[in-house]
Structure 1
Amino acid sequence: MLPKVIIVEGLTDKQQIKKVITEDVTIICTNGTLGIERFDNMLETYQLDDRDVYIMADEDRAGWKLRKQLKRELPHAEHIYIHPDYKEVATTPLHEIAHALVSKNIEVNPIFL
C-alpha cells in the first residue's frame, strides 16, 4: 500500500508537519494554486487517485482557494483544518498540528499530544 499524502501550500508548512509525524507520509507542496498541467503532473507523479490524500492549507484566502480547487479535482481527499486563530500551518503550535493529524489517523509522536 502506498503511503498517505498530505498536500500543503509551502515548504514551511511541510517542515512544521514533518516535526510531528512518525509514519511514512509523502508531503507535497503546491506553492500556491495549481495550473491544470501542473496538477495533472502531480496527479500522475504521486498516483493521487490510488492513495489516501489529505489537504492541510492555511486559513486564509489563498488556502481556501487551494482547498476549493483540490476538492473539485480530488473529491476523495480529506481536509485537515487548523484553528482559524493561527491562520497559517507554519505558525500553528506543534501540539495543534499533532491533534489535527491524529484526528485523521495519521501517526504522530505522542510527545506532541
Structure 2
Amino acid sequence: MTHDPEKVIIVEGLTDKKQIKRVINDQVEIICTNGTLGVERLDELLETYDLDNRDVYILVDEDNSGLKLRKQLAKELPHAEHIHVSSEYREVATTPENVLATALIGKRIEVNPLFLL
C-alpha cells in the first residue's frame, strides 16, 4: 500500500499542475478539476482523495470560471486553505515561477529554493 501525501492542491487544468510541479519540492498530490464540477464529480473527488481528512489547498485562476470553482470548493471543503495568484497574471499556468513559489511557501509547501532568488 502506498502512502498518499497529506497535502493536496486542487487546480483547474493540466497546465496549472505542470507549472506547480516545476516549482515544488514537497510531497503534494495535485488534482485537476478540468473546470467547474458537477455534484457527482465533486462527491467522487471527495471520496477518492479523502479530501475531508487531508490538508487541502485551492489554487485556481483569477478569472470568472476560477472564482466560481473556488466558491464551490470553499463550500464543500471549508477546511481548505486558499492560495491566490495575482489578478495581474490571471492564470496559474502563466504566473512566473518565483511568484508562484512565494505564494506556495506562504502556505508551508516546500519549493525549489532556486525559485526564491
Q: TM-score range by the shorter chain?
A: over 0.9
Once residues 81 and 2 of structure 1 are traced to their aligned partners in structure 2, the CA distance between those partners, rounded to angstroms, is 22
Aligned to 1:81: 84
Once residues 89 and 16 of structure 1 are traced to their aligned partners in structure 2, the CA distance between those partners, rounded to angstroms, is 7
Once residues 17 and 93 of structure 1 are traced to their aligned partners in structure 2, the CA distance between those partners, rounded to angstroms, is 10
Is it true that 1:25 corresponds to 2:59 in the alignment? no
Quick one: which of 59, 62, 81 aligns to 2:62? 59
Task: Give the paired residue count.
Answer: 113
Aligned to 2:106: 103
1:23-56 per-residue CA deviation (whole Å, 9 max, x = no partner) reads 1100000000001110011001000000000000
1:5-30 per-residue CA deviation (whole Å, 9 max, x = no partner) reads 00000000000000010011000000
Is it true that 1:40 corresponds to 2:15 in the alignment? no
**Deviation >4 Å, runs of 4+:** none
- % same residue: 67
Once residues 83 and 41 of structure 1 are traced to their aligned partners in structure 2, the CA distance between those partners, rounded to angstroms, is 30
TM-score calculated relative to the size of structure 1: 0.98
Quick one: which of 50, 53, 60 aligns to 1:50? 53
TM-score calculated relative to the size of structure 2: 0.94
Unaligned stretches of 5+ residues in structure 2? none
Once residues 6 and 90 of structure 2 are traced to their aligned partners in structure 1, the CA distance between those partners, rounded to angstroms, is 27
